[in-house]
Structure 1
Amino acid sequence: MSDSSAAVRGLAGLLVSAGTMHLLAPRPFDAIVPRSLPGPARAWTYASGVAEIACGVAVAVPRTRRAGALATAALFAGVFPANVKMARDWRDKPLPLRAAAYGRLPLQAPLVAWALRVARRAR
């Protein structure tokens, strides 16, 4: 996004929306929590949802935007193993589902770049 305010609104909206989905419809997210993480998958799903909402709110507020955007970049990098697990688990699914799972993998890089761009432009 070229307009910095559109970039901020878009990133904050994406985070709050995704976080809300983690809380309201957690089952699909539970399925992609790496098994190596301790504790129940649902706890990780809820924690990541809360983290996404918190990052979205922090990005939306000018005073916390830089820190929120940096936390968002770290969050996007941190959830990459879940996307790898999803791609691996879905390798035998029908092509449209496989394509969606594999498509998530390269999407993480532009998401991290987006968050870092918002952080750089924050005052």
Structure 2
Amino acid sequence: MDARGCTRLLIAAIYAPFGVLHIVSSGGFLSIMPPLVPFPREVVILTGLCEIAGAAGLLIPRTRRLASIMLALYALCVWPANIYHALSGVSAPPLPSSWWYHAPRLLILQPLLIWAPLWAAGVLRWPFGRPDRPD
């Protein structure tokens, strides 16, 4: 298996269980939801479903490209909740409250969660080259 295939498996292995966790333990995620988000519990459950669908879609060749784009958009859309968590000072155990957690999460992990599915599905090659062209 090549690096893209390993990355797809890793992304799926991360997103699928977190998706399940969003559904079965949605209450744990409510504290980091920005107050402006309507229907927060339903949004947390929906994000779990998106994570599971994206993880599965990334492993299916026919849906891989779309799933990677949707996972990247998903990671972009949930970034505000991570920013809110970092700036609001709310506690969300078991997540740490220190900037030793928040800074890498916001500045490294979240951009990586946007880039990695796109690269793993061949939507882009950056920083290794030009984007793949669809047939």
The bucket for the TM-score relative to the shorter chain is 0.7 to 0.9
Gaps of 5+ in 2: 124-131
Mapped to 2, the partners of 1:11 and 1:71 lie a distance apart of 13
Shift in CA distance, 70/24, structure 1 to aligned 2, threshold 3 Å = same
- In the TM superposition, 1:13-92 aligns within 5 A as 13-39=13-39, 41-90=40-89
Name the % identity.
Answer: 26
Instruction: Give the number of the structure whose residues are more often helix, by fraction.
Output: 1
* Aligned-partner SS, 2:33: coil
CA displacement, residues 38-94 of structure 1 (integer Å, 9 cap, x when unaligned): 22x1111101001111111110111101110110000000100000010012289xx
The residue type equivalent to 1:73 in the other structure is: A
2:111 is the alignment partner of 1:109: yes
Aligned length: 119
Q: Larger C-alpha radius of gyration, 1 or 2?
A: 2
Q: Distance in 1 between matches of 2:105 and 2:120?
A: 21
TM-score (norm 2): 0.78
Structure 1 CA distance for aligned equivalents of residues 42 and 35 of structure 2: 13
RMSD: 2.3
